[in-house]
Structure 1
Amino acid sequence: MLELAAELRQWALEGRDFAVATVVAVHGSAPRPPGAALAVNDEGTVIGSVSGGCVEGAVYELCRTALDNGLSTLERFGHSDQDAFAIGLTCGGVIDILVTPVTAAQRPHYLEAWGAAAGGEPVTLVRTLAAPFGVLLVRADGTGSGTLAHAPGLDRTAPAEAVALRDTGFTGVTELGSRCAQRVPVFVESSVPAPRMIVFGAIDFAAALVRAGKFLGYRVTVCDARPVFATAARFPEADEVVADWPHRYLDAQHLDGRAVLCVLTHDAKFDVPLLERALRLPVAYVGAMGSRRTHQDRLNRLREAGLSVAELARLHSPIGLDLGARTPEETALSIAAEIVAVRRGGSGVPLSGAAVPIHHDGPPSAAGRTPGSAPELMPGLRSARSGVRA
């Protein structure tokens, strides 16, 4: 529900009752990921989406029912081969949706979470998926409020686990709790600031990559040691333009595991000290532009600088996928495509004729579970509703 934080906060401040349906798990091919949400208020107004249209009508009715009876429900929607007109996903996937009523009693508890998310602050909501349905708010500083009401001590230990998941940008189903005691299935929903993309090299290709990075939802910085080129006028769509030596700027940054670094300078005096540092950082992607000859020379210099085989293997160079790109815009597309493939675990091969999934769950999360995948949330749950008063 955090993706609708600004709108839900406004409804709550207006004193409205409403219900929120949130995708908590995806199995196979589905239009929207975990965290996607649809909300219905007491006037019947709808915001958001959970399936791109496939099951919105049924989810709307679930929300109206939750508003009437005050019950949380967990529903599974999937494709039905037996009945072409059955409510389900035509794409063949399965989604689990948690519907939560938010009335006067619950509003204060969620308001803080929505305010933080709408303001761009890190915040996490942890919700249980079986009776008794509970919710725990985990703030940016790691403190928590609320209760999961499932296992002794879980409210005390869950915030630290939730913060570790939030640092990776995780949203999905996992299990929390002591390894030697009961592990509780929960839905962890993280709202974090936009991931960083740093483009080193203020060249024409960088301008196109800035636009692609913004389109993908990154906070984009352009950095170049040459002040005459590193200007806001040349990169009006960048969030930040910095005139500094690339390695010195990188040294001053605090980057998380979602950050991507794109080195477009293809000049050894900039590239080598920069990549020597970048390839030792726990970031999601490091790519460098240049010919294959430039790449081999760069590798030799980095080996001489002491980088290991494993560290060098993290370098995506020449940067981008093989699209036959020529123009800056085409090159930016090839780089953006590689970033998405690395982020989501894609192969980069054409989907036509290839026996590969259309939607990839991505690389394993820090919690040991692939984001978007989930265990059986409730045994035997097959489009069967389970209601418990919120």
Structure 2
Amino acid sequence: MRVVAEGLRVAAAVTAGAVTALAELVFLVLTLPFLGHPNVLASARRLARLEARRLRLDTSHLDALEEARGGRAARYLAARVPVGVLGGLVIALLVAGVKVAVPLLAAWTAGRPFDGMDPTPPLVAYILTGGFVLLFLDLSGVAGVHALERRLAVRLLGPDPTEKLQRRITELAESRAGIVAAVDSERRRIERDLHDGLQQRLVALSMLIGRSRRGRPELLEQAHAEAQHALAELREVAWRVYPSGLDSLGLGEALAGVAERSSVPVTVDCRLPERPPMAVETAAYFVVCEAVTNAAKHAGAAAITVAVHKEGAAVVVRVRDDGSGGARPTGGGLSGLARRVAALDGHFEVDSPAGGPTTVMAVLPCG
């Protein structure tokens, strides 16, 4: 059913393209003496944008390109006129074939001759074979014209390859700087955790042991409890640095550990047909970990849901909480996650209106 719907959409796009090609031909002929005028270029740009939308292509860059280079949209319109006319001829042949095939099938199904021809077995076989071959060629022509139109639009309206390369270099430089900043921020947080938590407990433990050695044996039990707390905090800090279970048990079990340690109920739904690359697993884990921590500490959430699944060649991570919302994507933790995801060429998004709920989503390519 989906294939049929897509075929009908392509045929409709090619038909519309044939109509707009004739209109654009008239536009180009009438405006030929004025092609350098800004109003003519603006009209050509609007027509090119309509064509790009018909072909389901991105048009966000079209204004900048046209302003920078002048009549690029006009050149595209001139180049696509013959392609649109070709598409119109292919659709006309398809319609003509249907107009012949439908009465023929209706007559022969009722047992009547069609145009003086009786439905004998050799004639039926000949007509069916020829009809299927012509239908196949015509449908291939429709698909070919549509693909040619898209290729032409991408070639003439798309970003310049040099500009794309420069933009990519800029993105890589920014992501590298972001990674360095994220690593430094994580180191500072680990130092604070060790200094403010674990170090204080170890100092207290040392004092208790010293006092017990001076004739206060009842303090040994308290020292033992402090040692247990210190070990628990040390495990927590080590787990935040890198969860050891991620390597051996996989992402699902590691996220189950996050849910167990959370002070807020967390529901985890991790459905991956196979283990993704280690870098993707690590990024997905830290996205969930940071989002759960923020929801528990800052949002006052009562419930958190985590969903991890595969969409095409990417792993999609969604964390949703019912807290107060208002999370800022530019905050320290979330901005660090955005940089981590960007380093994998992924997409990171935070939706947190005032009053909630908050949804954190990361799309991590596996290729």
User: Is TM (by shorter chain) over 0.5?
Assistant: no
Higher share of residues assigned strand:
1
TM-score under structure 1 normalisation?
0.19
> Structure with the greater relative contact order (CA < 8 A, sep ≥ 6): 1 or 2?
1
Identify the structure with the greater helix proportion.
2
Q: TM-score, normalised by structure 2?
A: 0.20
